[in-house]
Amino acid sequence: MRVFISFEGSFEPFDVLAEDTVRAVKLMIKDYFHIPLSEDKQGKMYLQLMYAGAVLNDDWSLADIGISLGANLKCLVKKENKPTLYIYNAVTQKTMPIMGSIYLLGKKVSYLKTLITLRCGFPVSIFCLRTPQGREMYDCNTLIDYQTDIGTTLRLDVWDGWKEFLTGCLQGQKLKVQQYLSEEEPVLKYGC
């Protein structure tokens, strides 16, 4: 059966079988239009096939989804970016993706700590970053100085005494938070 594929302003006929899967049709489109698809550390480029406004799953056969003779399918090249770095937060025990380009790796650790502060709200002065090997990262060095590569997971550790306080804050435990606050004016003013 003949279907029509719309791709980047072009409208081309394709002869397919009703038993063909969406994946097989995508391969035909890739070969016909010479589309370079790739996957690397920074992300991937892939084809997305749509029919009647719905995205089609690769494993579906054309007959199963009601595509018949003369149907019009739309094809798009999609790009999915992967995070440049991941930060494991020891307080929340969650991993936070940091998006950006490869140029982020040439920035200083202090720059990354500022980005993290904007994302999680922790003051820069209460945490440090560690390499996957557990080595502390200093603000004046670049990420490359620590052999940080795309996709690396760094660890965010807070200084002693802060974990319980922050956990109490995140969980809304007022009494637990109050016991960590000092009665002394200088400590109260600059400690938290």
> Any idea what the CATH number is for the domain that residue 12 is in?
3.10.20.90
User: Taking a C-beta distance cutoff of 8 angstroms, is the pair 82, 41 a contact?
Assistant: yes
Beta bridge partners, 55, equal: 50
pLDDT at 190 over 50: no
Residue at 54 is within a domain:
yes
Residue at 139 is within a domain:
yes
pTM of the prediction? 0.58
Q: What is the residue-averaged pLDDT of the chain?
A: 84
- H or E stretch at 110: helix 109-120
| Terminal-residue alpha carbon distance, the chain | 70
Domain that holds residue 144: 85-159
C-alpha closest to that of 167 among 112, 118, 88, 158: 158
Share of the chain above pLDDT 70, in %: 81
What is the Cα–Cα distance from 71 to 39, expressed in whole angstroms? 30
